[in-house]
A and B are shown apart, each in its own frame.
Chain A
Amino acid sequence: MTTRDGPAPIQLIVNGQSRSVEADRDAPLLSVLRDDLGLLGTRTGCLEGRCGSCTVHVDGRAVQTCTTPLWSVTGRKIDTIDGAAPGSAIARVRDAFLHEQAAQCGYCVNGIIMTIASLIAGPAAPDRGHILTVLDERHLCRCGAHPRMLRALDRLLAETAA
């Protein structure tokens, strides 16, 4: 129980667990995940919604958390890379990235994994061109590890087709 006056706690479902968060309702979801819930696999990046390194899933869709206010995800199902269960789409994408050694510094990679996982896990057959467009619009990598990430993507698409 809290004794201070403040907003009512906000309920979230994070990595399958019900969580109650006492933070400013306008706080970005990114800072709630990292600083209130200790989920540090979601990276802090540009905080302007441009680099994509803070991407998580909200109800299965890839969302940039730096520009998502806490109130907007009340009661929603949030999945982060920290909580990826073995065999999940997130874990499958991560395995493909590790297989291809698809990183240099690795800072941008977790967000990219989350976006790819959301696109290959959907009901529709994943379309390479569409995935490439989404990655191009929502993610930045400065080290130039793109060729490897694209090889990891192709590995996943081949697995999915098989």
Chain B
Amino acid sequence: MLDRWIGADRKGLVVRSGKVELGQGIATTMAAIAASELRVDPLQVRVMPADTTLAPNEGYTAGSFSVEHGGPAMRVAAAMAREVFADAAARHLGAEADDLVVQDGLFRMPGQNAAISYGELAEVVDLHVSALDRAFPPLLGLSDTALGLKRPDLPAKLSGAAYVQDIRLPGMLFGRMLRPTAPNLRLVNFDRELVARLPGVVTVVVQGSFAGVVAQRDDQALAAIATARKSARWAAISTLPADDDALSWMDAMPVPPRHVATAEGEPPEGRRLTARFVRPYLLHASVGPTCAVADWRDDGATVHTHSQGIYPLRGQMARVLGVPVDSLTLIHAHGAGCYGHNGADDVALDAAILSRAVKAPVMVLWSRRDEMTWSPHAAAMRVELGAALSDDGRVTDWHCRVESAPHLARPGMGEDPNLLAAAEMEGPVPAAPPVVKPPVATPGFSISDRGGDRNARPLYDLPRLTVLHHELPQGPLRSSAMRALGAHLNVYAIEGFMDELAQAVGSDPLAFRLRHISDPRALAVIRAAAHSAAWDENDVGGEGTGRGLALARYKNTGAYYACVVRVAVEESVRVLSVHGAVDAGRVIHPDGLLNQIEGGVVQAASWTLLERAGWDKDGFTVQGWDSYPIWGFRDIPPIHTTVIASEDPSLGAGECAAGPVAAAIGNAVAHALGVRVRQMPITRDRLLAAIQGEM
């Protein structure tokens, strides 16, 4: 039904997308698209939060699909709505709909003064019509005002209440959780009576090893948890393997590989090289605390959440809570930056359980420690590459073996609901999840890979290709989707190995790649990046400075990004500049595209140079910011981005930079030192180890 996307009242137009704002600016892009087709000022279009009552079910906001899938859906819906309004305007003006023009939100006959606006027509127009029953509307394309649109959500965010953490419902209480400090511990008990008597504490909720407190104020809830922790007793439910740089714990999990690509026949003769690359577990580490507000009533509950998938989450919450799906309403609210499957889904269930216990609205905020320990991690991975080279310097055979912890463990993706509280509570979870059917056929969330093998296929022309993916079960730390998924390590490995192969045949890295590319869009971005950086094949590097090049097409179907990174290697690696080029098809919101690329560069550089999550005999080694440094203001290099605009379909750009930036840093470090660091993060210790290993 059209009214899932578009609505109108006397104040003007409202749009709803099933794709949610994660800090990436998608609401701005949706406003730009809708306003262009409706021919209204984008600032007159109000983008409403998605909820499970009104918004279209578009699955997850993930995989860089929002612009690619959600965008065209919004575009067609807006154009259809314009047609419905035009019919009503024609009746009002005594004209034929086809003869009317629409501009600045007004319908009129060309050359005449009489006009009528969307707002004035709102009362007589019914948008509760099936989108499938209408003819495909003519599309007007992007308007100039849409292209230059500024983020409509920022003025409020930069002055006052704006996020889920800022919701204040009448009578709202605050909940905090008590969770273990090691991945293999479960709560046995704590002094509940003592905690219940603390100032402001309303109730203490314990179900199995799930434990939380509800208090009048958030600072009281925090104090209660601190007291609870002092008397808490924990039991180990498993033995943790040792954590090491080589991720040896993966050796104890033999899983047969999936064949992603299989070469036929005998491998060719020739010089062969191999290399192994490793990435540890990483953290989302959003600056804001994971949060939800639940308001449990006799006839159902409303949950305000920053989840990436309100419909799938609703189904799993209903299953765990043992209530009908329809009794839960989930409303998306803006949270702090979301880079994938973080704790947002878990905290929504935490809040619902605590709200049910007190029959009042409850906001649950996770502590920094909750955040850094129990939020799903980005998956640890290992990649082993092998290739054969011909005498004329071409790759004749390519072999890739990926081992990866789970990247796709969102609630509802597997048998298990994968909601933290569900695992902690006593009692089995009903096996069959209630099926949540989308109301209409919508562009959903479908992926052609399993996350770990994302971008495991090189985009180069290779006569023989084998790609094996060992999809491991959950390892010592809980993992799921984080920005770029397997592409971060896969591209790091492929592009690092391409440099090793180029060196083996005495070729310039750029020339060697050009020899193996026939895709014209890939050629265009790599040439644009090289041109922007004034790539010099005679630059021999060394002396502590170096430059590296890398290229990928995200998911092999998404946006192309290539870059040249310059580094100085001192005590640690300093990035001096990033010259990139991107082809994301037709650009809808140019500043939004650049913002996503810049942010992608900064975050990926931070992952690659600094970040690592692990465990030791005392539990999680990361429990706060002090044990998880990220890039700061002094680390930021100049970032130049060349946008290659085209009329190809629009593609998301939030994830395309991650792999190439990481790989270009690795290649620049190798160029500077003459030795390669194949394990991320590229820390001082790893640099020293690599240099010593070479001597």
Taken together as a complex, chains A and B put the C-alpha atoms of A38 and B151 apart, in Å, by: 25
Interface hits, A102-131 → B, CB 8 Å: 103-110, 113
Q: Give the residues in chain A near B218, CB-CB below 8 Å.
A: 31, 35, 44
Kindly report which residue of chain B lies nearest to residue A35, judged by CB atoms: B217
Whether, in the assembled complex, B348 has its beta carbon less than 8 Å from a beta carbon of chain A, the answer is: no
Question: A46-B624, A142-B603, A144-B600 in contact; A40/B368 too (CB < 8 A)?
Answer: no
How many pairs, one residue from A and one from B, have CB atoms within 8 Å of each other in the complex?
165
Q: A residues near B, CB below 8 A?
A: 24, 27-28, 31, 35, 38-41, 43-48, 50-51, 53, 81-82, 84, 94, 97-98, 101, 103-110, 113, 132-133, 135-137, 139-150
Q: Which residues of B sit under 8 angstroms from A104, Cβ to Cβ?
A: 23-25, 337, 595, 599
Beyond A48-B368, A105-B336, A143-B603, is A97–B158 a contact (Cβ under 8 Å)? yes
Apart from A28-B219, A48-B624, A94-B158: 11 A-B pairs, beta carbons within 8 A? A40-B161, A43-B163, A51-B625, A97-B158, A98-B155, A104-B595, A106-B23, A107-B337, A109-B157, A143-B337, A147-B602
Q: What string of 1s and 0s marks CB contacts (under 8 Å) between B206-244 and chain A? A: 000000000001110010000000000000000000000
Task: Tell me, rounded to whole Å, the shortest Cβ–Cβ distance linking A54 to chain B.
Answer: 11
- Chain A's nearest CB lies how many Å from the CB of B657? 10
Most chain B beta-carbon neighbours within 10 Å: one of A45, A53, A109: A45
Residues of B within 8 A of A31 (CB): 217-219
Q: Determine, out of B42-50, B247-255, B286-294, B562-570, the stretch whose residues face the partner at the interface.
A: B286-294
Q: Which residues of B contact A98 (CB under 8 A)?
A: 150, 154-155, 158
B9 contacts chain A at the CB level, 8 A cutoff:
no
A143 B159 Cβ-Cβ under 8 A: no
B147 contacts A by Cβ under 8 Å: no
A residues within 8 A CB of B603? 142-144
A47 vs B624: C-alpha distance in the bound complex, in angstroms? 10
How far apart sit A51 and B284, CA to CA, in the bound complex (Å)? 15
A83 CB to nearest chain B CB (Å):
10
Give bound CA distance, A28 to B218, whole Å. Answer: 11
Complex Cα–Cα for A45 and B287 (A): 6
List residues of chain A with CB within 8 A of the CB of B630.
Answer: 140, 142
Select which of A41, A50, A132 is within 8 A of B160 by beta carbon: A41
Asked if A101 contacts B150 (CB within 8 A), the reply is yes
Q: B154 near A45 (CB under 8 angstroms)?
A: no
Provide a sorted-by-A list of 7 A–B residue pairs whose CB atoms are within 8 angstroms.
A81-B159, A101-B150, A104-B23, A104-B595, A142-B287, A148-B595, A150-B636
CA distance A114 to B489 in the complex (A): 38
For A105, the closest partner residue in chain B by CB is B23
Is B601 an interface residue when CB atoms closer than 8 A count as contact? yes
| Interchain CB contact under 8 A, A113 and B158 | yes
Which listed residue, B23, B162, B199, touches A143 by the CB 8 Å rule?
B23
| Cβ contact within 8 Å between A107 and B598 | no
Contacting pair B22 A105 (CB below 8 A): yes
The 8 closest A-B pairs by CB, nearest first: A105-B23, A144-B602, A144-B599, A107-B336, A105-B337, A40-B161, A106-B157, A50-B625
Task: Render B19-41 as a binary contact track against A, CB cut-off 8 A, 1 for contact.
Answer: 00011110000000000000000
Q: With both chains docked as a complex, state the minimum distance between the C-beta of B26 and any C-beta of chain A, in angstroms.
A: 11
Residues of B close to A143: CB separation below 8 A: 23, 337, 599, 603
Q: Are B158 and A103 in contact (CB under 8 A)?
A: yes
| B-chain residues with CB within 8 Å of residue A82 when the two chains form the complex | 159-160
- Known contacts A40-B166, A53-B288, A107-B336; A46/B598 CB under 8 A: no
Any chain A CB within 8 A of the CB of B634?
yes
Chain A hits for B25, CB < 8 A: 104
Contact of A132 among B161, B222, B598, B633 (CB under 8 A): B633
Q: In the complex the two chains form, is A53's CB within 8 Å of B287's CB?
A: yes
The reply to whether B598 and A43 contact each other, CB–CB distance below 8 Å, is no
Name the contact of B222 in the complex, choosing from A47, A53, A84, A146 (C-beta under 8 A). Answer: A47
